[in-house]
């Protein structure tokens, strides 16, 4: 049984990765400072080390003590809009933090990393469908920090024999694969809509005059359970020495509009509402959709959930939880 350290494993995505590793017969160990993660998201029986990824000595000790064969590096500051206001904090968490994890891995002799990257590395794409080779033009400190993280991993792979990494570029991660974990982000569309409905407020759409079929932004919504499966596939490939690309898009190839998400929310929850139309948000591109063909070939990537199933899983998990603090 191989052991993998999951940084940020008490967060929404990280906790799903932890469960997927366990299901696959692997042993996860979590490091999380609980700044946004929740100890209750970590399953019983999984070791939780409370600490920061900037603490290189703690990471080195944890990797060595558990004889980890790899790290799934999910921890980071993930709010693109806020990163514009807090660039130094973003770089400290996402660039210095990733360098700290890599330094600890070198000190402990840990050979493999699966890195949580982002579609934000692309900025506003030129074409209809983003591929791994599309130009990288990040438009926020967050996107820049994720691209630098990918560069760091690639540089270490070139300089350190035996080290390998794979970066997984996420798009809009939604839903829940268990009622024990839900997305509590104050910036993501699904929790924003769900919290509004639970509180009796009207959800809103930021702009309905984009050059898209229904005038609202089109995004690539992918289920967190599918995402977790592909993390495990990447970890297994690294363990087995199978070849992987440096980076993969985890995208649907099709995309959904914000209005389509609102329609699904209305169908699934049974709450009838007409979303309020607010002004556009600065910097929101009309459409970002990516192909997931490479990940489908190498990382067991596929869309296992319909839009209604994505919404239903998110709604069920949030309603099963205690009220958000």
Q: How does residue 325 score in pLDDT terms, banded at 50, 70 and 90?
A: very low
Residue 80 has pLDDT above 90, yes or no: no
**Could you give the percent of the chain with pLDDT greater than 70?**
98
- Dist CA 264 CA 285 (whole Å): 22
Count of C-beta atoms within a 10 Å radius of residue 128: 8
Instruction: Give tens-digit pLDDT for 274-301.
Output: 999 999 877 678 888 999 999 999 999 9
- Dist CA 197 CA 208 (whole Å): 20
In CATH terms, the fold of domain 3-173+221-249 is: Rossmann fold (3.40.50)
Residue 324's pLDDT is 45
Distance from chain centroid for Cα 267: 26
For residues 18 and 231, the answer to whether their CB atoms sit within 8 Å is no
Instruction: Give tens-digit pLDDT for 153-194.
Output: 999 999 999 999 999 999 899 999 999 999 999 889 999 999
Name the nearest CA neighbour of 251 among 310, 168, 185: 168
Q: How does residue 95 score in pLDDT terms, banded at 50, 70 and 90?
A: very high
- Dist CA 5 CA 62 (whole Å): 8
Instruction: Give tens-digit pLDDT for 312-322.
Output: 999 999 999 85
Alpha helices in 165-283 (DSSP H): 189-198, 224-240, 258-269
Instruction: Give tens-digit pLDDT for 138-154.
Output: 989 999 999 999 999 99
**CATH 3.40.50.720 segments of the chain:** 3-173+221-249
Q: How many residues does the chain have?
A: 325
**CATH 3.90.25.10 segments of the chain:** 174-219+252-289+304-320
**Could you give the percent of the chain with pLDDT greater than 90?**
89
Query: How many secondary structure helices (H) and strands (E) does the chain include?
Result: 11, 13
Q: pTM to 2 decimals?
A: 0.95
3-class DSSP assignment, residue 248 = strand
Q: Treating both helix axes as pointing N-terminal to C-terminal, what angle do 307-320 and 258-269 enclose, rounded to 10 degrees?
A: 60
Pick the CATH number of 174-219+252-289+304-320 from 3.90.25.10, 3.90.870.10, 3.20.20.70, 3.50.50.60: 3.90.25.10
Instruction: Give tens-digit pLDDT for 187-235.
Output: 899 999 999 999 999 999 999 999 999 999 999 999 999 999 999 999 9
Q: How does residue 323 score in pLDDT terms, banded at 50, 70 and 90?
A: low
- Dist CA 130 CA 77 (whole Å): 24
User: Mind telling me the catalytic residues?
Assistant: 142
């Amino acid at each position: 049984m191989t052991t993998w350290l999951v940084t940020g494993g008490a967060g929404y995505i990280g906790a799903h990765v932890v469960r997927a590793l366990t299901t696959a017969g692997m042993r996860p160990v979590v490091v999380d400072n609980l700044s946004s993660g929740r100890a209750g998201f970590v399953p019983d029986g999984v070791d939780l080390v409370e600490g920061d990824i900037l603490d290189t000595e703690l990471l080195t000790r944890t990797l060595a003590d558990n004889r980890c064969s790899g790290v799934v590096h999910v921890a980071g500051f993930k709010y693109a809009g806020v990163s514009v206001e807090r660039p130094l904090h973003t770089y400290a968490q996402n660039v210095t933090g990733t360098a700290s994890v890599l330094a600890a891995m070198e000190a402990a002799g840990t050979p493999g990393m699966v890195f949580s990257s982002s579609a934000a590395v692309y900025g506003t794409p030129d074409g209809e469908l983003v591929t791994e080779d599309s130009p990288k033009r990040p438009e926020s400190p967050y996107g820049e920090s994720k691209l630098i993280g990918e560069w760091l991993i690639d540089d270490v792979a070139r300089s350190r024999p035996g080290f390998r990494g794979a970066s997984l570029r996420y798009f809009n991660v939604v839903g829940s694969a268990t009622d024990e974990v839900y997305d509590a982000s104050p910036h993501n569309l699904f929790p924003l809509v769900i919290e509004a409905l639970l509180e009796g407020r009207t959800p809103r759409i930021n702009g309905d005059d984009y050059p898209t079929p229904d005038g609202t932004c089109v995004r690539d919504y992918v289920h967190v359970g599918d995402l977790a499966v592909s993390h495990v596939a990447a970890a297994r490939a690294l363990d087995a020495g199978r070849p992987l690309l440096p980076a993969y898009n985890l995208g649907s190839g099709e995309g959904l509009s914000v209005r389509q998400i609102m329609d699904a929310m209305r169908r699934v929850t049974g709450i009838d509402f007409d979303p309020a139309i607010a002004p556009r948000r600065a910097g929101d591109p009309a459409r970002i959709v990516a192909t997931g063909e490479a990940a489908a070939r190498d990382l067991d990537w596929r869309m296992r959930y319909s839009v209604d199933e994505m919404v239903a899983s998110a709604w069920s998990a949030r309603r099963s939880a205690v009220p958000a603090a």
